[in-house]
Amino acid sequence: MDLNKIRHSLAHILAHAIQDLYPGTKFGIGPVIENGFYYDLDLPKSLIPEDLLKIEKRMRELIKQNIIFKKNLISKDSAKKIFKNQPYKLELLKEFYSGHRAPDKVSVYVSGEFTDFCKGNHINSTKEIPLDAFKLTKVAGAYWRGSEKNPMLTRIYGIAFSSKKELSEYLNLEAEAEKRDHRKLGEKLDLFSFQEIAPGAAFWHPKGMIIVKELEKWWRKKHEDSGYLETSTPIMVKKSLFEKSGHWEHYRKNIFTLEIEGETYALKPMNCPESTYIYSSRIRSYKDLPLKFSEIGRLFRNELSGTISGLFRVHQLTMDDAHIYLRENQIQSETKNLLKLVKDFYRMFGFKPEFKLATRPEDFMGSISLWKKAEKSLSLALKQSKIKYELKSKDGAFYGPKIDIYTKDSLKRSWQLATIQLDFQLPERFNLHYIDEKGKKRRPVIIHRAIFGSFERFIGVLLEHLAGSLPFWLAPEQIWIIPIAKRHQQYAKKIHLELKNHNLRIKIKSDQETVSKKIREGEIQKIPYLLVVGDEEIKNNGVRIRSKNKDLGLMNLGNFLEELKKIDKNIKE
RNA sequence: GCCGAUGUAGCUUAGUGGCAAAGCAGUGGUUUCGUAAACCACCGACGGCAGUUCGAUUCUGCCCAUCGGCUCCA
């Protein structure tokens, strides 16, 4: 059974059903995608989700008719006749014949009353399609041929598998994904929220802020160890800065501006141009290079309103940025250092990084020879680090090529987090230099890089990856002490005091509730350790430990601390 | 920004052209309990602005926000 053929054929059947139910529909394209298919349609009326059931029903009727799929090779003229009322198909046909090696015949697939311009492949008959293993999932808008200059069509998505079992497994996975949605976890765990008064900007609650602070702490340590010097630059700067850097030309629509005393200011959408001011605040020697300025910078990007989504896509983000000023001959070795740093970071969280090399885009700046040199340095660094990477051509930044690092969350969704970008343009534009061994002025190169990408997105991905169960060192509340009865409060306080001395985030759950209730709350709040104390524990001078749904039994407090020290080096002696 | 949908209490949901219902959470009390929800009471909401109407949370329009996509992502 060829699932792709089934999915592709279902797209045709979907179009067939639409043709029956909504005469006058103009058809776009209907390809196979991961897990299913879609068809783009210009419908005489707009659809509501309930219509999908009606369409599905019609599809099943058609499938039961054992419709045969037949490939025909026909002439351009007969194709024109067949699609005379189908402007999108005619456009595709025209394009098909405009190529250098236009064939004499065009291939169409006929299935019952429906004919589509299509090169295949398809099943022979609809009896090959299991009736209970597909489902129309959603209706959405999509621009014709993916360009916002074109009209918007209605896209119907469907999923299809080879059996009912696989379909329901997929639906279960989706339900699981929904439970892990970081927006829901953020609410449930009281980490952050979004408010109508500030769309696209997170409000960090005290517990969420602990995660941010712990990540920052760890990040600073790692960067100090690697020779980075932390800086901070203004959030609001005159827009002329970005005119000079070239960003205004490329991203003016996405830059927030404000007028002050007749001058236009911008909220910085990136840190780089300002970083160069610190660089050129004094004469730099070749001995200073590579010079690494790090900055945890608050950035503002006016993304299209429809693209804003939770912590993944925001108007206001916090980038763990750094700019490395170096000589051309240091690019490879420094890139290798960075690749190692990225690997170290991602190993810490259990993410598997995937590397993509993005090369010169259409609207690039600078000379092609420089670009080629830059691309070569990056690919060599990747190769020497023995990293497998994917080439994303024409996807670089306007100022230079980059290595983007993606990671998948536990549900196999891919997210771009880290990035390493080479820049030969900014040093030119800001006339940066250093003095070389011979006392001559030379131009440095800049590497822009972020490891988390943004704290917002990183925390969002991390929460989904771990379904909210953060590692001990990041957990906002690490330990709850649960006294069984009132008479155990005193002992709970004693334990609390002892553990508090070791830098632990700990609290006594002293509410007037049953133990069961407190355990339940602790589990829901993903507290790493719940310590139950009662008569038994007092008698043995210990605590009863529960962690991740498991009762680990009675333990002496000292032993418990030893266990904790094994998983978290921050614990004070 | 574009297409489509949604918006009722802190959260999850019910409901109506005529006093808006519940569970959880919160507050006060009772209970002091051994590993995922004790009991009683109380507090608390129709996204905003217009319009239609005797009367709008409900109908209409506009706006805002959110969700699913498209496009974009320095």
pLDDT at A48 over 90: no
Task: DSSP for A457-493, please give it.
Answer: HHHHHHHHHHTT---TTT-SS-EEEEESSGGGHHHHH
Q: What is the DSSP string of A15-27?
A: HHHHHHHSTTPEE
Which range is least confidently modeled, A54-68, A166-180, A203-217, A459-473?
A166-180
- Summary mean pLDDT of chain A: 94
Residues 152-181 of A with CB under 7 A from strand B: 152, 154-155
User: What local confidence, expressed as pLDDT, does residue A493 receive?
Assistant: 96
Average pLDDT over residues A88-106: 84
A106-137: pLDDT as tens digits: 999 999 999 999 988 899 999 999 999 999 99
Strand B footprint nucleotides (protein C-beta < 7 Å): 1-5, 11-12, 25-26, 29-38, 64-74
**How do residues A285-335 score in pLDDT, each as one tens digit?**
999 999 999 999 999 999 999 999 999 999 999 999 999 999 999 999 999
**Euclidean distance between CA atoms A204 and A311, whole angstroms:** 11
Contact, A249 CB vs strand B, < 7 Å? no
Residues 529-558 of A with CB under 7 A from strand B: 530, 532, 534-537, 544, 546, 549, 551
Q: Judge if the upstream peptide bond of residue A121 is cis by omega within 30 degrees of 0.
A: yes
In A402-450, which ranges are E strands? 402-408, 414-423, 434-435, 441-442, 445-450
Per DSSP, the three-state class of A200 is: coil
pLDDT score at A491: 96
Peptide bond into A290 cis (omega under 30): yes
A394 in contact with nucleic chain B (CB within 7 A)? no
Q: What pLDDT was estimated at residue A100?
A: 67
Q: What is the pLDDT of residue A487?
A: 94
Radius of gyration of chain A (CA): 30
Lowest pLDDT segment from A151-165, A403-417, A490-504, A537-551: A403-417
Nearest to A547 by CA among A523, A567, A529, A524: A529
Distance A304 CA to B14 C1' (A): 36
In angstroms, the CA of A462 and the C1' of B26 are apart by: 30
Alpha-carbon distance A156 to A171, whole Å? 17
State the pLDDT at residue A175: 87
Q: Residue A382 and residue A389: Cα distance in Å, rounded?
A: 8
Complete edge-to-edge strand list for the sheet that includes strand A529-533: A506-508, A479-483, A529-533, A542-547, A550-556
Q: Is A141's CB less than 7 Å from nucleic acid strand B?
A: yes
A488-529 residue pLDDT tens: 999 999 999 999 999 999 999 998 899 999 999 999 999 999
Strands A529-533, A479-483: pairing is: parallel
* A367-396 per-position pLDDT tens digit: 899 899 889 999 999 999 999 999 999 999
Instruction: Please give the share of chain A, as a percent, with pLDDT higher than 70.
Output: 99
Alpha carbons A179 and A174: distance in angstroms, whole number: 9
CA A70, chain centre distance (Å): 42
Whether residue A405 contacts residue A417, with contact meaning beta carbons closer than 8 Å, is answered with yes
A112: alpha, beta or left? (left if phi > 0; alpha if psi -120 to 50): left
